[in-house]
Amino acid sequence: MDIQKIVAFVEPSFYGVDFVERTYKKGCQVIAIGSSLDNPKKYGYENYYHDFLIADIRDPKSIYNAIKNSKYDGKLDALIPATDYASHYTAEVAEWLSLPTIPSFAANNARNKDLARHAYQKNKVPSALYVKVSDAVQACEAASSIGYPVVLKPTNCASSQGVFFINNKEELLQAFQKLREFKKTYMGFDVSTDYLIEEYLVGPEFSVELFLKDQKVIFSSVTEKETSDLPFFVEISHTVPTSTQLDKVEEMVEVSVQAMRAIGIDNGPSHVEIKLTLSGPKIIEVNGRPGGDQIASQLLFNTYGFDIFEETVNFYLKLPINEHYPAKKATSIAYLTSRNNGEVSKIRGIENIKQDPSVIKFEINVQPGDLVKIPESSDDRLGYVITTGENAVEAKRKAMNLINTIQLVYV
């Protein structure tokens, strides 16, 4: 880059921190836009930005005004969403500023599960049967129509928040009441008062990591997943590439691309969640962003050398994008979860992780005295270990074995 590019990110957090770090190291001028000056330290990017603009990220007009009233008005080369919840607002503001972006209607479809389901249905993309409901009576009628078991979820949340597996009417009424009391999600965003009753899809779960350029797939990889026992849907391991269902990989990628196009995403990264049912792959949801849970930042990078954050920034800046990423090895992440509800008195086995040469990275976020519980969402996980191996089976085995050597002793 001969002239330093100016790139703004809306509320960098979680996976979005990788965007900020890569862009800073790329030599760009990084502008963070967020709700509080405390956020760079809170989310861990305090050393990777040059300036900060205050805005209410729940309001696109506030984001727009923060830019227009700053010295960067008319000077930004890119405006990139760095949190799921503001992705559609970021795209909308980028359109107002005539900056490169995915269409705001596509980002809105990805952000709202009811709109996405409608788009899948309209475009004949294999997906779960669903009904949008707003009260308990409608929910019961929908569940009876679809047939138990069903899944109840908000239309606009993430990380398995507010997702319930329902076996019967009694469970549905109890879960619906809990969901009605769930008012705010991450960063103060309102939980929609519309909900989905969905068919429960039976089969192993995968995610498909994709990067499109003008509708052309320039990168794809299928991630093998393990999830917690029902009635919850907490992801407890990811492995890249998948070691199972190898004969279905091409079909899973194709259905995922169909889903992206159905909601209007023709360019950039997507993280598509999918179930492989007896009748073939069916879409759970499409996220118009790189995969979280270290999938993009660690698993894809260590397996393929593919830096999806770097390439996404290149896309927004209209720079060349590398299209050749052969698999070099396999990478797996396994999460630490509690098997009981209670107070932790001791933690044993961490030394096994520290001494294992296959470990790339690990983090343990629990200590004696902490109250823990059987996980109901991703927020309840207590740490992770990431390992590499010559193949996916080996990488996954190492990660699962290491995380299982950690013992939580309860009071």
pLDDT digits (tens, 9 = 90+) for 65-95: 999 999 999 999 999 999 988 999 999 999 9
Q: What distance in Å separates the CA atoms of residue 194 and residue 201, rounded to the nearest whole number?
A: 21
- In three-state secondary structure terms, 353 is helix
User: Looking at the chain, how many residues does it have?
Assistant: 411
| pLDDT at residue 140 is higher than 90 | yes
This prediction has a pTM of 0.90
DSSP state of 248: G
- Round the average pLDDT of the chain to a whole number and report it: 93
Tokens standing for residue 284: 């759970």
- CATH class in words for 129-199: alpha beta
Tokens standing for residue 29: 């001028």
Tell me what pLDDT residue 1 has: 54
List, for residues 42-51, the tens digit of each pLDDT value: 999 999 999 9
Percentage of the chain modeled with pLDDT above 90: 84
Which residues are bridge partners to 184 per DSSP?
A: 190
| pLDDT at residue 383 is higher than 90 | yes
Backbone phi and psi for residue 279, each to the nearest 5 degrees, phi listed first: -100, 10
Residue ranges of the chain that CATH labels 3.30.1490.20: 129-199
Q: Which CATH architecture has domain 6-101?
A: 3-Layer(aba) Sandwich (3.40)
**182 CA to centre of own chain:** 20
**Core vs surface per residue 113-152: b (16+ CB within 10 A) or e:** bbbbbbbbeeeebbbbbbbbbeebeebbebbeebeebbbb
**223 CA to centre of own chain:** 13
Tell me what pLDDT residue 180 has: 84
Percentage of the chain modeled with pLDDT above 70: 99
What CATH number does the domain located at 331-410 have?
Answer: 3.30.470.20
Residue ranges of the chain that CATH labels 3.30.470.20: 205-328, 331-410
What is the rounded end-to-end Cα distance, in angstroms, of the chain? 57
Which residues make Cβ contacts (< 8 Å) with residue 301, sequence separation at least 6? 307, 308
Tokens standing for residue 67: 């830019």
Domain 205-328: CATH superfamily is: ATP-grasp fold, B domain (3.30.470.20)
